[in-house]
A and B are shown apart, each in its own frame.
Chain A
Amino acid sequence: MATTLQSVGLTALGGLLWSGYSDEVKASPLVLRPPSALPENDFLKACIKCGLCAEACVNRDSNKNRDGSKRDGTLQMAKGGDHKLIGTPFFIPRETPCYMCDDIPCVPVCPSGALDMKSLLDEKEELDINKAKMGLAVVHKESCIAFWGIQCDACYRACPIQGEAITIEHQMNERTGKHAYLLPIVHSDICTGCGLCEKACVTEKPAIFVLPRKYSTGKAGNHYVKGWDEKDQQRVKDAKEIHTKDERSEKEASDYLNMGVEY
């Protein structure tokens, strides 16, 4: 009896330590996953860490140098020290970006469903890598030399969906009065997050880089609607009036506005 109690107690102790550790190690938000990966939380559940995606990536026919030697694959399997959930696939664009293969070798081999092939199928039920949403490229305009007025369109030219995911916006350079800025603008509805732009960027530390979408996008919310856009209005067609009641709403607006604000 006492032994059983001790076993149960020690198991509970182990369970607490184990749960705490596991919960910490799954917190690796800034990680880019293969195409069509489920949202990070589901992906961490579903990925069985088999590495079939990474093996398909590195061994694809197109992954060869001109002399026939094999190149590094895009997908790496997280090792101890990578500070990602161990055994899960990820990529680092500035080392090796995703080349967005037409046949997407990494996705159909996934046995567990962590990579959701259905999300990459187009209307004709064919694989379309342009539908991938691995991340979103973000431009840091203070270090992007195009924003300084120096001509560079390396990211624009590297982009596999050229002229759609990144466009060049022309602006007059007031400083010289006779030159143009050629500014790279990323369009988040098209960008797949492959990272070819980040790899191509000429600055010492890339001024354009891919972040997981969760961290590189905002959300306007239902308060803000494009009144000139019928489609956008559909977004809030079921919205209901919300009344917020708190201490302040009992008073007249003019009362508390004149009294100063307590934070």
Chain B
Amino acid sequence: MKNMKYLLLRRVTQFTILFLYFGANAYGWHMLEGTFGSSRLFGFIPLADPYTTVQVLASGFVLGADVLLGALIITIFYMVVGGRAFCSWVCPINLVTDLANWLRRKLKLDREEVNYRFLKRRTRYWIMVLGIIVSAIVGISAFEVFSPITIMQRGIIFGFGAGISVIIAIFLFDLFGVKNGWCGHLCPLGAAYSLIGSKSLIRVEHNHENCTNCMGCKVVCPENQVLHMINKSSISVTDGECTNCGRCIDVCNDDALEFSIRKFLK
């Protein structure tokens, strides 16, 4: 079980958080109420999604103080623990895309490298900015219109309805379409958290003395461009696109990767 530690920890965290949200509606619990858009922790601490908050502000509505404070709390939290820790430790879509990715490997769908000319990993930043512009033009939070993240979360809490089709679409896209297509190329929320966490403290650190160049980490990594230092130099993974999922640490049999506190001084 050694090489499952962070995977199991993540799944436990994800299911616990989703179950607390579910229980808030189903059983009236006050641990974690609402949805990612805006939540209440322990019945009084406001939490809010920074990207949704920016969209609402762009649509021309001055939000209540609870949401603004909540967005600030979440922003500061992810500035410390790594922005995309949300993606791999909280987001329910991560369960869907991880499953698709695992099946992709089992079905050996990636024997040939494919270069998608217009679907680069930086596409998500364009979409992120575009979402804010469209919000301003149309006057509603544009990403929330089809965001599979909150559709899935609300589905779990309040029931899916036809919204399940969006989740299935993401699954099919990631399985048969583009590898890491949604989370790694398109999701504007992931892009926002990449920026928020670009200077975060908790980071994966590589020790290239121990590395045997087996490339196991690069195979499982959903954002393997961030692992450019493997077997080259002993530095931290500083790229904001790293989701801090810890899967590379799990699969490394040579103790060449471990979580550590980022060193700002060389």
Is A85 in contact with B67, judged by CB distance below 8 angstroms?
A: no
Q: Once the chains bind, are B139 and A44 in contact (CB under 8 Å)?
A: yes
Would you call A177 an interface residue if the criterion is a C-beta within 8 Å of the partner chain's C-beta atoms? no
Total residue contacts A-B, CB cutoff 8 A: 146
Segment at the B interface, from A11-19, A128-136, A156-164, A203-211? A11-19
Does B142 have its Cβ within 8 Å of any Cβ on chain A?
A: yes
Interchain CB contact under 8 A, A45 and B139: yes
**For the complex, is A260 an interface residue (Cβ under 8 Å from B)?**
no
- A14-B53 Cα distance, complex, nearest whole Å: 22
Q: Are B28 and A59 in contact (CB under 8 A)?
A: yes
Kindly state the interface size class of chain B when it binds its partner: 35 or more
Contacts of B145 in A (CB 8 A): 21-22, 25, 85-86
Interchain CB contact under 8 A, A77 and B37: no
Residues of B within 8 A of A76 (CB): 158
- Any A CB within 8 A of the CB of B109: no
CA distance A246 to B161 in the complex (A): 55
> For this complex, into which size category does the number of interface residues on chain A fall?
35 or more
CA distance A50 to B39 in the complex (A): 7
At the interface with chain A, which of B58-66, B221-229, B242-250? B58-66
Complex interface: stretch among B8-16, B75-83, B125-133, B255-263: B125-133
- Report the bound CA distance from A77 to B151 in whole Å: 11
* Choice from A23, A58, A109, A112 contacting B25 with Cβ under 8 Å: A58
Interface: B1 (CB within 8 A): no
In the complex, chain B residues whose CB is within 8 Å of the CB of A81: 161-163
Q: Name 9 extra pairs, CB < 8 A, besides A50-B38, A80-B165.
A: A45-B60, A49-B144, A79-B154, A79-B159, A79-B163, A81-B162, A87-B37, A109-B40, A112-B56
Residues of A in contact with B (beta carbons under 8 Å apart) = 6-7, 10-11, 14-15, 18-19, 21-23, 25-26, 41-42, 44-46, 48-52, 54-55, 58-59, 76-77, 79-82, 85-87, 109-113
Task: Give 8 nearest A-B pairs by CB, closest first.
Answer: A79-B161, A81-B162, A80-B162, A80-B163, A59-B28, A111-B66, A50-B38, A50-B34
